[in-house]
Amino acid sequence: MTQPDSASAPVPPFLRDPAPMLARIRGQWAGHQAGGGRHADLWIFGYASLIWRPDFESTERHATRVHGWHRALKMWSRINRGTPERPGLVFALLPGGSCQGMVYRVPHREADAALAALWAREMPTGVYDPRWLPCQTPHGAVPALAFTLSRRSPNYTGDLHPQQVREIFRDARGRYGTTLDYARQTFDALRQHGIHDRRLARLLDLAGN
């Protein structure tokens, strides 16, 4: 379903309290630690800005692929890459397909601080559905924390017309810069790790690149 154009997209209220979700994730991670070995550390899957600005220290990082989810520039951004009057777009991990990205290993002693920083950055309104997705690493499969989005979320854009995307690339700007710069940075970071996102390349073509 096509949503209203970016300028008239509805502004959702406060979505969900993020604190209980953080407590749940911490509890699940504690369960993973019981397995010892590679599971004792925190693994995080990055598919967009976490690739080029992770904001946490990691001892390992590997290109990987998750199945059952795909990267899509289909989430409204009214602060970071747009405004309430002219929303921008950011990536979300949506159900279906697969997604190439990066998986990071955070030592268990630094995991609590990394989770707190991630929640402050990604979850101030509880918009994402954080979940554990299996990722392949040189050590075998690990459960990695990923930030997914429900298509029922008021921040999900639905299918946008190409002209809407062009206008957002041209006009949307938030506290961290433009939607177009964000999309370009993600595309370039993926390429640096040998990942070519054809869907994103086609979107960037709409900006005249």
- For 42, phi then psi, to 5°, come to -90, 130
193-198 own/partner pairs: CB under 8 Å, 24+ apart: 193/51, 193/63, 193/102, 194/63, 195/63, 195/100, 195/101, 197/71, 197/100
Instruction: Kindly give the pairing relationship between strand 129-137 and strand 140-148.
Output: antiparallel
User: Do the Cβ atoms of 90 and 73 come closer than 8 Å?
Assistant: yes
Whether 110 sits among the annotated catalytic residues: the reply is: no
Which of 57, 60, 85, 122 is labelled catalytic?
122
User: Do the Cβ atoms of 143 and 32 come closer than 8 Å?
Assistant: yes
Structure tokens at 160: 């946008």
Instruction: Please name the residue ranges forming H helices in 34-161.
Output: 49-52, 108-122
User: Do the Cβ atoms of 129 and 73 come closer than 8 Å?
Assistant: no
Instruction: Please name the residue ranges forming H helices in the chain.
Output: 18-33, 49-52, 108-122, 162-171, 179-192, 198-205
Catalytic residue positions, numbered: 122
